[in-house]
Structure 1
Amino acid sequence: MNSEMTARALMFQGTGSDVGKSLIVAGLARALTNRGYRIRPFKPQNMSNNAAVAVDGGEIGRAQALQARAARIAPSVHMNPVLLKPQSMVGAQIVVQGKVAASADAARYQDVKRTLMPRVLESFERLSAEADFVLVEGAGSASEINLRANDIANMGFARAANVPVVVIGDIDRGGIIASLVGTAHVIDPGDAAMICGFIVNRFRGDPALFKRGMEEIARRTGWSPFGLVPHLPAAARLPAEDALALMGKDARRGKNGPIRIAVPMLPHIANFDDLDPLEAEPEVELLRVWPGTALPGDAALVLLPGSKSTIADLTALREAGFDIDLAAHVRRGGHVLGLCGGYQMLGRVVSDPEGVEGAAGSVPGLGLLDVATTLSKEKRVATVAGTSFDNVPFDGYEIHMGETTGPDCARRFAQIDGSRTDGAISANGRVIGTYLHGLFANDHQRSAWLKRLGGTASALDYEAGVEEALDALAVHLEAHLDVDALISHAA
């Protein structure tokens, strides 16, 4: 490692995916920033189609962008040097330090990993040179010994960078003692030596009832117990890291509201945090509709979200019968909005001459917009600002591959940066497509959409709500974790 590095580092791994690693790192980033430390978040390898645009160009996982926000700094591509974006048929797109480097299936990627460690360590060193602490997040499970060879995401990185590890378990799933103790016993002794302690997350009930549980885990593993973290409802106001968090959210689980927005859930959904600001609106009932369930006939808007694999998700949409429901929705006078991949699906055809998403060819679109999309290997990644067709300002971002053209583009959705147009609107004005993400996080844009759907202007300051949730998370972790002990174990 570079002798000029000044930062200490601590890595947070999990007994599995979706145990709360991302939010614990975000909360600690805000807590330590509030203490006056310079904090940098870091995740060596992320697998997610939920991506953000970094200030230095390129894309990273949105979880690291949130952690950067928690640390009150701009997101950098070096905070997530390897991002895997799952695709159909061709495995995953490999993004290295913000730029697309290759695509590989799961088996081949195991060999590719060994070539990526130098880039990972380079990014880690860059962040370490400008921080007091680097908070490192692992990926998946620390105990996936079948993937240990050439690992860059968990213990492989911890060993290479000599970073102590804290293991997080989710008690809400059950089996927490077995998960943590089992992790200690199945991993390599050299890896186990890197672990300094553990955190039990998402506890509900009387903490005294798990006092013996914490003691038993500590006794059987030899790890320090850094804390039992109760479930925090405010955390639900923060973006989820990956699509696992969407599982189990069915079509009728949300609150009731006069404006019903239906979202067909497809296998390769991307940038699904576009939905979060709508879900936060008191007037909105956001319905995530899974295959096997019909789109509700009384929805004011059907929203097709982004997709990492437009053609595969278009096929899945048809197999679920959503295309029939969508056509009926339009005949009834309903509104439709397609975001990015969802926009591409709304056109007459999606062509993939270069085989970007699989076999080269073309498939018919939904035909709700008179446009056609040609996919290409060139990716546009940029933050943008402008005004929508009704002169409402916005800021957002673009992450997409392909170009969409056709007669309906003459009725553009947005003017961007005063120099170019985006999107398309149908002749009757009820079907809109755009490549823009992040629209609904803008209070002006969200208000405009609510009024288009018969509601009233939003009174919600969405971004302020995210800040309040990050502050609440920091206070929560300061109260339930031994933060001083965590700091003392960083190396």
Structure 2
Amino acid sequence: MVRAIMIQGTGSNVGKSVLVAGLARAYSRRGLRVAPFKPQNMSNNAAVTENGGEIGRAQALQARAANRPTHTDMNPILLKPETDTGAQIIVQGQRAGTMKAGDYRKDKSKLLGAALQSFDRLCSDADLVLIEGAGSPAETNLRNGDIANMGFACAAGVPVVLVGDIHRGGVIAQIVGTQAVLDQNDLSMIRGFAVNRFKGDVSLFDEGRDDIATRTGWACLGVVPWFHDAWKLPAEDMMDIRSHTGGKCKVVVPQLERMANFDDLDPLSAEPDISVEIVPAGRALPGDANLVLLPGSKSTIGDLAYFRKQGWDIDLYAHVRRGGHVLGLCGGYQMLGKTISDPDGVDGRPGTVDGLGLLDVSTVMAGQKRVTLTKAKALEGGAPVSGYEIHMGRTEGPDCTRAWLEIDGRPEGAASANGRIRGSYLHGIFSSDSFRASYLKQLGVSSNIAYEDGVDQTLDDLADHLETHMDLDLLLSLAETPQRS
């Protein structure tokens, strides 16, 4: 009979996603059929599932760790921020509209049914469901109608383990303070705690660990040292993007305000001869860049205005005059064109804006959202490419006659006459080793790493790490068959 347990955190970014990925790999290696689940996620870095929808990229990584195909049931509610006050709502993989934050808070409890429906389907084909919370249950102002943490745990009848992040400092207060603000019904769901991201001699925290256990009465599942290779795993949050320095070839990426699907950077960051520099707002694009990569965006027109506000357009034109290369992916591709038209306001207010004008193409934001896993090949050299499309709009123009990819016999992308400026709607292209090697060769870089093999090895190493530093037998014993309230 299926069992489930929920990993909640004392705050955002305490390492829940990586812990669940490591646990998924560890328990699947023990022969269990493991399924990851996150009832509600907020991320613009979505993955396309094998059944043709969107989920958070962390759940896609966790599915990979569990040796399980991705499915929209693994993350039934996905919020993709478009502005500071509004987000696109993805329900069971499909776009359900856009909602302001205040309206979502009023109506989110209505989505609990969809979350429970997806959870039930996962439970029907698993031995163990590992559930990841979002943010923190200590945010008591969000408890009414909650579907991300204790609201879901209570509705689904699943036990909870609370994780604190010692790297932030004050981990005793994080965990004990969370206990202090929860009501008794929520507290009854918690079975234990773990401390994550310890640096140094773990035994130095023995007294702190025991103090937490004494004050809370909860079992300690472990004090987990910092996992130094976590950067090798695909990042979900923009905060986790790793600037990698030291390579002879510099790839520069402007950090757009609504940057989306930036997993294109992970394989480049893994290359020893590539230096990836993420440039935050207020800083100029470095003049010694070999390649400027414009990433995807959840709000292309808004991020284009943001790009210009930083003066990055001036830096980019100077980079092109110096003979540098430019690659735009999805939203970045749209920005490189002459114009972006949005007659129906799907990307913001209706209207037409001037693009950066580096490609002779124009984009119209219209039609159905395209969400699909894609097999392609490079027109030059024929290297196979595995990627995905997740975008609104279509892009056409003279530079599309110089497409550099082919999907099912149709040309994809556009390029300038000299080939130094390119754009495409296809994400994930650099995960394909032979294509990445051929592309980087144009920049004077040799590549011989097997990126996907490296991700799987890192997941195995993470599972070993947790087997050493957590009591996985105890954690498994705490998992229970869901008891619907």
What TM-score results when the alignment is normalised by the length of structure 1? 0.96
Following superposition, the deviation at residue 187 of structure 1 comes to 1.5
Following superposition, the deviation at residue 90 of structure 1 comes to 6.6
Matched, 1:300 2:300: no
The aligned amino acid for 2:465 is H
The aligned amino acid for 1:393 is P
Matched, 1:238 2:240: no
Following superposition, the deviation at residue 379 of structure 1 comes to 0.7
1:386 & 1:210 partners in 2: Cα distance? 51
1:156 to 151, 155, 161: 151
1:240 & 1:281 partners in 2: Cα distance? 16
Superposed CA deviations along residues 261-294 of structure 1, whole A, max 9, x for unmatched, are 1111111111112101101101101111112211
Q: How does 1:37-56 map to 2 (within 5 A)?
A: 37-56=32-51
Following superposition, the deviation at residue 378 of structure 1 comes to 1.8
The aligned amino acid for 2:45 is N
Q: How does 1:189-208 map to 2 (within 5 A)?
A: 189-208=184-203
RMSD between aligned residues: 1.1
Q: Corresponding residue for 1:472?
A: 461
1:266 to 253, 256, 271: 256
Superposed CA deviations along residues 286-310 of structure 1, whole A, max 9, x for unmatched, are 1111122111111110000111110
The aligned amino acid for 1:471 is D
Matched, 1:342 2:332: yes
**Unmatched 5+ stretches in structure 1:** 1-5
1:102 & 1:386 partners in 2: Cα distance? 30
Q: Corresponding residue for 2:389?
A: 398
**Which region of structure 1 is more displaced relative to structure 2, 187-196 or 253-262?**
253-262
Report the number of matched residues: 479
Q: How does 1:58-77 map to 2 (within 5 A)?
A: 58-77=53-72
1:95 & 1:245 partners in 2: Cα distance? 23
1:364 & 1:90 partners in 2: Cα distance? 25
2:170 & 2:50 partners in 1: Cα distance? 41
Check 1:25–1:203 CA distance in 2 against 1; reply closer, same or farther (3 A cut): same
Matched, 1:19 2:9: no
Matched, 1:417 2:408: yes
2:31 to 14, 31, 36: 36
Q: Corresponding residue for 1:325?
A: 315
SS at the partner of 1:429?
Answer: coil
Q: How does 1:2-401 map to 2 (within 5 A)?
A: 6-88=1-83, 91-246=86-241, 254-376=244-366, 378-390=368-380, 391-401=382-392
2:297 & 2:155 partners in 1: Cα distance? 35
Superposed CA deviations along residues 46-105 of structure 1, whole A, max 9, x for unmatched, are 000111111111111110000000000110000000000000267100000000011101
Identity %: 58
Q: Corresponding residue for 1:459?
A: 448
Q: Is the 8 A contact 2:245 2:277 kept in 1?
A: no
Q: Corresponding residue for 1:487?
A: 476
Q: Is the 8 A contact 2:49 2:71 kept in 1?
A: yes
2:300 & 2:107 partners in 1: Cα distance? 26
Q: Corresponding residue for 1:3?
A: none
2:424 to 420, 427, 434: 434
Q: Is the 8 A contact 1:60 1:98 kept in 2?
A: yes
Check 1:271–1:206 CA distance in 2 against 1; reply closer, same or farther (3 A cut): same
Superposed CA deviations along residues 423-454 of structure 1, whole A, max 9, x for unmatched, are 11111211100001111111011101110112
The aligned amino acid for 1:297 is G
2:300 & 2:85 partners in 1: Cα distance? 13
Superposed CA deviations along residues 346-370 of structure 1, whole A, max 9, x for unmatched, are 0011111111122111111100001
The aligned amino acid for 1:397 is Y
1:137 & 1:225 partners in 2: Cα distance? 18
Q: Is the 8 A contact 2:299 2:348 kept in 1?
A: no
Q: Is the 8 A contact 1:384 1:417 kept in 2?
A: no
2:20 & 2:51 partners in 1: Cα distance? 22
2:95 & 2:464 partners in 1: Cα distance? 38
1:187 & 1:93 partners in 2: Cα distance? 30
1:408 to 384, 399, 405: 399
SS at the partner of 2:347?
Answer: coil
Q: Is the 8 A contact 1:369 1:425 kept in 2?
A: yes
SS at the partner of 1:302?
Answer: strand
Q: Is the 8 A contact 2:5 2:159 kept in 1?
A: yes
1:75 & 1:344 partners in 2: Cα distance? 28
Q: Is the 8 A contact 2:235 2:266 kept in 1?
A: no
Q: Is the 8 A contact 2:329 2:424 kept in 1?
A: yes
Q: Is the 8 A contact 1:88 1:357 kept in 2?
A: no
Q: Corresponding residue for 1:450?
A: 440
The aligned amino acid for 1:317 is F
